[in-house]
């Protein structure tokens, strides 16, 4: 949640940097990655961009505009701060090149942006205020028939993003930025996965290498050096990923991945449940059609789990998404009445998940069951994540759960890593 310091910073950017006549300014939501503010304007005729000239990825601010959104990066969000603003603006520019008019109508216009330099010289994105209501928190408790209205539209969005043509100027895998001519080209992503990679294979090598580096920075994990695992992990990095790609029929097709496509990042008309906006592209990246299922769709239970997990529900979901759904469907447990605590098992709503998969199939969206390499690459992805789960870097979390629980979590992660390495012969 934005503090008075961030509120004052937002006001300073809006009035001093952008020369907007602001009547009111207030925070929106409790986002962690950004501090988000709604600006209510008296006038914007004297608006100027930070550079004083048109920026790539922007459009002219309509003079009648009276509401805007200002997003300021949270530097503590464990993202690639120097790259994240330009990357997101470049991705938004790609989306506005879509042949899908429906998708383009959901993308907010950008009027000004500035890259993050440091805590004393922060970045921002000034964008269109989109109408609608966020239903992410309420979605699990919305009646199934209403959920299906949203799910149908989410599948259409997934199809449009998957079909988006990636320009030849974007040559690698990873992120996006602008060249001097204002074209979208390959660049570093906001996700801390390293600067753009020439091949899909290199992307996964970079991901595992980054995870090993993060594990080195964790006092709890100590790079897995005191467990006898590090030598095996290093050998797998040197040899194992190449071996997987030699024996797996992996597509060379590049695809934009939203990275967090869910009901939390859309706005809807509260009366009709029509989606009115698609938001938050900072976790987006250029990969393959598979990766969207490794980062998104968790609220419809469409996130493809890893090969090794201690959650029986996740084992069943993986099998259904890869091999087809059982008939009859498994019984869905009751929805939680309160907040879901870390480590609790998922309450899989099977009718919702099946409805989601049916929508994807009807639209011809590539999905885990129709992506030949989904099983092997998803297993590799989650193995890499298990090398250093984000919570091992969160001091507040470590202190909150206590040493005993931390040790249990570490032991569980070690067992998952050992299972995968042994299965691959390392």
List Cβ neighbours of 76 (8 Å cut-off, separation of 6 or more). none
Q: Between β-strands 67-73 and 110-114, what pairing exists: parallel, antiparallel or unpaired?
A: unpaired
Mean pLDDT value across residues 310-337: 91
pLDDT at site 416: 95
Six-digit token string for 213: 């580096």
113 with 57: CB under 8 angstroms? yes
Whether 335 has a pLDDT exceeding 60, the answer reads yes
pLDDT at site 374: 98
Instruction: Round to whole Å and give the CA distance between 282 and 33.
Output: 9
Residue 338's pLDDT band (boundaries 50, 70, 90)?
A: low
Q: Per residue in 100-127, pLDDT tens?
A: 999 999 999 999 999 998 878 899 999 9
Mean pLDDT of the chain: 93
Q: Per residue in 372-411, pLDDT tens?
A: 999 999 999 999 999 999 899 888 889 999 999 999 999 9
| pTM score | 0.94
Whether 77 has a pLDDT exceeding 90, the answer reads no
Cite the residue boundaries of each domain of the chain with CATH code 3.90.1200.10.
139-423
Cite the residue boundaries of each domain of the chain with CATH code 3.30.200.20.
4-128
361 with 325: CB under 8 angstroms? no
DSSP line for 264-323 = GGEEE-TTT--EEEE---TT-EEE-TTTHHHHS-GGGT-----SS-S-HHHHHHHHHHHH
User: What CATH number labels 139-423?
Assistant: 3.90.1200.10
Mean pLDDT value across residues 261-286: 96
Sign of torsion, CA 219 223 226 229?
Answer: positive
Q: Between β-strands 34-43 and 67-73, what pairing exists: parallel, antiparallel or unpaired?
A: antiparallel
Q: Per residue in 157-169, pLDDT tens?
A: 999 999 999 999 9
Mean pLDDT value across residues 292-309: 96
Q: Per residue in 211-242, pLDDT tens?
A: 999 999 999 999 999 888 999 999 999 999 99
Closest CA to 189 of 260, 240, 249, 135: 260
> From the CB of residue 243, how many other CB atoms can be counted at a distance below 10 Å?
13
Distance in Å from the first CA to the final CA of the chain: 44
360 with 343: CB under 8 angstroms? no
Class of domain 4-128: alpha beta
Percent of the chain with pLDDT over 90: 82
Instruction: Round to whole Å and give the CA distance between 303 and 385.
Output: 14
Work out the angle at residue 377's Cα, subtended by the Cα atoms of residues 173 and 426, and round it to the nearest 5 degrees.
115
Whether 345 has a pLDDT exceeding 90, the answer reads no
Whether 309 has a pLDDT exceeding 90, the answer reads no
Q: Per residue in 188-205, pLDDT tens?
A: 999 988 779 999 999 999
Residue with tokens 């998940």: 353
Q: How far is CA 134 from CA 120, 137, 338, 343, in A?
A: 32, 8, 19, 26
């Amino acid at each position: 949640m934005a503090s008075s310091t961030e509120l004052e910073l937002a006001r300073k950017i809006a009035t001093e940097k952008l020369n907007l006549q602001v009547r009111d300014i207030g925070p929106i939501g409790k986002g962690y990655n950004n501090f988000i503010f709604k600006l209510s304007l008296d006038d914007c005729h004297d608006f100027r961009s930070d550079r004083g000239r048109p920026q790539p990825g922007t459009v002219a601010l309509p003079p009648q505009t009276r509401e805007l959104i200002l997003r300021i990066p949270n530097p503590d969000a464990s993202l690639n701060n120097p790259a994240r603003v330009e990357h997101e603006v470049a991705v938004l520019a790609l989306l506005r090149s879509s042949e899908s008019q429906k998708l383009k109508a959901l993308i907010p216009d950008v009027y000004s942006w500035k890259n993050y330099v440091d805590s004393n010289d922060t970045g921002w994105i000034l964008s269109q205020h989109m109408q609608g209501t966020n239903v992410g928190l309420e979605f699990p408790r919305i009646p199934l028939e209403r959920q299906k209205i949203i799910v149908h539209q989410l599948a259409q969005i997934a199809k449009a993003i998957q079909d988006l043509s990636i320009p030849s100027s974007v040559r690698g895998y990873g992120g996006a930025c602008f060249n001097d001519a204002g074209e979208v080209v390959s660049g570093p992503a906001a996700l801390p996965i390293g600067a753009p990679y020439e091949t899909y294979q290199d992307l996964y090598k970079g991901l595992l290498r980054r995870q090993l580096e993060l594990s080195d920075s964790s006092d709890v994990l100590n790079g897995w050096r005191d467990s006898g695992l590090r030598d095996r992990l290093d050998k797998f990095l040197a040899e194992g990923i190449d071996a997987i790609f030699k024996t797996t029929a992996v597509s060379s097709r590049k695809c934009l991945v939203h990275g967090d496509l869910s009901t939390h990042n859309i706005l809807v008309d509260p009366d009709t449940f029509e989606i009115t906006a698609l938001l938050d592209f900072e976790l987006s990246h250029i990969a393959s059609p598979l990766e969207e299922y490794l980062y998104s769709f968790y609220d419809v239970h469409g996130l493809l789990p890893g090969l090794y997990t201690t959650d029986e529900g996740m084992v069943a979901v993986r099998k259904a998404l890869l091999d087809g759904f059982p008939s009859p469907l498994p019984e869905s447990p009751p929805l939680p009445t309160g907040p879901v605590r870390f480590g609790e098992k998922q309450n899989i709503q099977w009718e919702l998940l099946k409805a989601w998969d049916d929508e994807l199939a009807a639209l011809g969206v590539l999905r885990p069951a129709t992506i030949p390499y989904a099983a092997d690459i998803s297993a590799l992805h989650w193995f890499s994540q298990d090398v250093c789960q984000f919570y091992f870097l969160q001091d507040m979390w470590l202190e909150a759960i206590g040493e005993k629980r931390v040790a249990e979590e570490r032991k569980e992660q070690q067992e998952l890593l050992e299972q995968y390495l042994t299965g691959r012969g390392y």
